Structure 1
Amino acid sequence: MEKPFPEMKNDLILRAARGEETERVPVWIMRQAGRYLPEFRKVSAEYDFFTICRTPELATKVTIQPIDRYDGLLDAAIIFSDILVVPQALGIEVVMLPGKGPHFPNPIVDPEDMHRRLKEKVDVHEDLQYVFDALTMTRHALNGRVPLIGFAGGPWTLMTYMVEGAEKAKGWIHKYPEESQELLQRITDVIVDYLVGQVRAGAQMLQVFESFGGDLGPDDFDRLSLPYLTQIVERVKYELGSDAVPMTIFAKGSFYALDSLSSIGYDTVSLNWTIDPEDAIEIAQGRVTLQGNLEPSVLLGSDQEIEVETEKMVRRFGSSTRYIANLGHGILPSVRLEAVDVFLRTVHRVGRRSVAEEK
């Protein structure tokens, strides 16, 4: 019999995602387990990136590092992994080059290459079990301190990586329209199974990162991203039924799609820094929780500037029930540890005040 997960001590972010009342604004940071932390750099000096991802003990360790450092200030942990484990499961080699990021030595060049090289059927429990094991281990190790977030990349974003960049991906959609749809569907099918597996392994919330959504214009987004993002949320929630967890969509730069993204079934829509909170609130009309959206480079500034900009952000969103504070993208590697502390403490201080003012 499997060991039951510890009872939750802080479910603030889960309540906010579901639109329930909260005593303060919850906060976490995209890429919070990563290169800005000296304790993470120590681990990464000994092990390469994907070794950490594929070793549950190491993934657990680095996932919890920011929760320990900023004890009581972060309201969620996000499992240490990468969106590119899905292309790897499909049979595509991915390496992480130090100081440069992900590299595909042999990207897919055309439909014939796609049919020849991609796996016809991916068994996520065979190819991605290490992620599920890390989730289960981390959920126990957190001991209910905060919820655990699982994630995956969006289909358009993963396709862009797999064919070697936005220019070639856009070339595909014009030269090979049917095959592009086939590739997006094959990626989608793996993502659905992967996210369902993550929840069954212990994830309490899910986020889909359509990081290259902003490379598409509105019409192409509606054709090449939105239908697959819709499939993902509908199919994952159908598969999980009563065990379904809150789901977040982050389509970076796709501000024009906020109305659509607010109506397809996600509980939370994460925003980057290019959209005004007031505009987002007006468009969303309370249908979803909004997450974001401080410009990450603000954390490179002085403590005073961080306080001012963070307070302004929280006040502009100003919701005690349908808002989660975060950055508008991932934290930058050069951010000071003290800057993160200032950001988190400011959200706590102003977030409590905002709730009190609304009541």
Structure 2
Amino acid sequence: MSHDRLLRALRREPVDKTPVWLMRQAGRYLPEYRALREKAGSFMDLCQNPELACEVTLQPLRRFPLDGAILFSDILTIPEAMGLGLHFIAGEGPHFHHPVRTPEAIDKLGVPDMADDLGYVPAAVKLIRRELDGKTPLIGFAGSPWTLATYMVEGGPSKTYQHIKALLYNEPAALHKLLDLLARSVAEYLNAQIAAGAQAVQIFDTWGGVLTPAAYREFSLAYMRQIVAKLDAAPDGSAVPVILFTKGGGPWLEAMADTGASALGLDWTIDIDEARARVGDRVALQGNLDPAMLYAKPAVIRDNVRDVLERFGDHPGHVFNLGHGVTPQVDPEHVAMLVDAVHEFSAR
């Protein structure tokens, strides 16, 4: 590749500047995304059309000198392919017509066919790789089994996690069966992305932080470890870096580093110097500016970018990112300032 700064950092190799990409770097804060979303008709129409998914993936790279592209898709493509009736409600987010809340409902589920049910995703990966033409690495992704199960059992977003935690405590064997099914599905799904050309992959464990320490290890981390062990090498035989991101995962960094993942994504609730002191050189670290910092004044953004870089220090293995995704109200000019500041300060 002509621009492999991100991949080198994920392998903990020296780089000339700290690479930067952003979770949700393609999305509603960009006017060009909003225009294409309106033209497409629905969010899932964007995701399931490889040409449109490619266009959305490339939009932020035309604006900002980012060091990585991330596939435009959604973490809920797997349960959607299982026939649960994914739909989106304005102001509320994703919901399922057919939530899964009993052992009997779980028994009816199977691993989706990656070609027939989810083939539009590797098709998009191939198209994006062709358009990137070796200039920028492409990151694929999937939701963690626990996070997917949370949406599938709750039927949508939740503040109390009533149904998934009731299943966890009352029917743990049934939940383990669901999580095992999802782990096998996610591994096949990520391998399909890798075969199509994804050069790194991230597992989004959005809701792992709502678990107790014991439950996190049993119902979330164990299944992410299972996925990491099942991932293939790239078509050329090279290892594909795997990033684990658990929102609220600060208490379990050492256990996450033991999974075999290449890097850990950090949210904004832990200082990156503390995280590095705890995991050492076992993994690269990704993060971890507070996403709300993008609402701040330019000078404040720059000062806080510099603080994250200085806290990490002059060591290999840092990928700059937010602690979660870019929010829709963010000014794109503030994203430009962040990206430029990362490159400017880290080059010094």
Name the TM-score, length of structure 1 as normaliser: 0.93
In the other structure, the counterpart of 1:57 is: 51
Report the Cα distance in structure 2 between the residues aligned to 1:241 and 1:90, rounded to whole angstroms.
31
2:335 matches 1:340: yes
Q: Contact (CA 8 Å) 2:101, 2:167: kept in 1 or not?
A: no
In the other structure, the counterpart of 1:301 is: 296
2:87 matches 1:95: yes
- Pick one of 232, 239, 242 that aligns with 1:247: 242
TM-aligned CA deviation for residue 142 of structure 1: 1.0
TM-aligned CA deviation for residue 131 of structure 1: 0.4
List aligned pairs for 1:185-334, cutoff 5 A. Answer: 185-237=180-232, 242-334=237-329
Q: Contact (CA 8 Å) 1:236, 1:244: kept in 2 or not?
A: no
Residue correspondences, number: 342
TM-aligned CA deviation for residue 242 of structure 1: 2.9
CA 1:196 to 1:240, structure 2 compared with 1: closer, same or farther past 3 Å? farther
2:7 matches 1:14: yes
SS in 1 for 2:285: strand
Report the Cα distance in structure 2 between the residues aligned to 1:112 and 1:248, rounded to whole angstroms.
34
CA 1:121 to 1:331, structure 2 compared with 1: closer, same or farther past 3 Å? closer
TM-aligned CA deviation for residue 321 of structure 1: 1.5
TM-aligned CA deviation for residue 106 of structure 1: 2.1
2:24 matches 1:31: yes
In the other structure, the counterpart of 1:122 is: 112
Report the Cα distance in structure 1 between the residues aligned to 2:236 and 2:138, rounded to whole angstroms.
19
TM-aligned CA deviation for residue 320 of structure 1: 4.5
| Paired amino acid for 2:53 | A
Report the Cα distance in structure 2 between the residues aligned to 1:9 and 1:335, rounded to whole angstroms.
31
Q: Contact (CA 8 Å) 2:266, 2:285: kept in 1 or not?
A: yes
Report the Cα distance in structure 2 between the residues aligned to 1:121 and 1:64, rounded to whole angstroms.
30
Q: Contact (CA 8 Å) 1:196, 1:240: kept in 2 or not?
A: no
Q: Deviations over 1:212-248 (max 9, x none)?
A: 0101111111111111010010111479793431110
Q: Deviations over 1:290-337 (max 9, x none)?
A: 000000000001111111111111111124411000000000110001
Q: Contact (CA 8 Å) 1:28, 1:74: kept in 2 or not?
A: yes
SS in 2 for 1:103: strand
Could you list the runs of 4 or more consecutive aligned residues of structure 1 that deviate by over 6 angstroms after TM superposition? 238-241
Report the Cα distance in structure 2 between the residues aligned to 1:302 and 1:316, rounded to whole angstroms.
21
| Paired amino acid for 1:55 | N
Q: Show structure 2 runs of 5+ residues with no match.
A: none
Report the Cα distance in structure 2 between the residues aligned to 1:181 and 1:76, rounded to whole angstroms.
34
2:121 matches 1:110: no
Q: Contact (CA 8 Å) 1:22, 1:320: kept in 2 or not?
A: no
In the other structure, the counterpart of 1:4 is: none
Q: Deviations over 1:48-81 (max 9, x none)?
A: 10000000000000000000111xx200000100
- Pick one of 168, 171, 189 that aligns with 1:173: 168
Report the Cα distance in structure 1 between the residues aligned to 2:56 and 2:235, rounded to whole angstroms.
28
Report the Cα distance in structure 1 between the residues aligned to 2:20 and 2:345, rounded to whole angstroms.
12
2:38 matches 1:45: yes
SS in 2 for 1:150: strand
| Paired amino acid for 1:54 | Q
Report the Cα distance in structure 2 between the residues aligned to 1:122 and 1:96, rounded to whole angstroms.
21
| Paired amino acid for 1:179 | A
| Paired amino acid for 1:275 | I
Report the Cα distance in structure 1 between the residues aligned to 2:229 and 2:111, rounded to whole angstroms.
21
2:60 matches 1:66: yes
| Paired amino acid for 1:21 | P
SS in 1 for 2:165: helix
In the other structure, the counterpart of 1:3 is: none
2:150 matches 1:160: yes
TM-aligned CA deviation for residue 34 of structure 1: 0.4
CA RMSD of superposed structures (Å): 1.4
In the other structure, the counterpart of 2:132 is: 142
| Paired amino acid for 1:290 | L
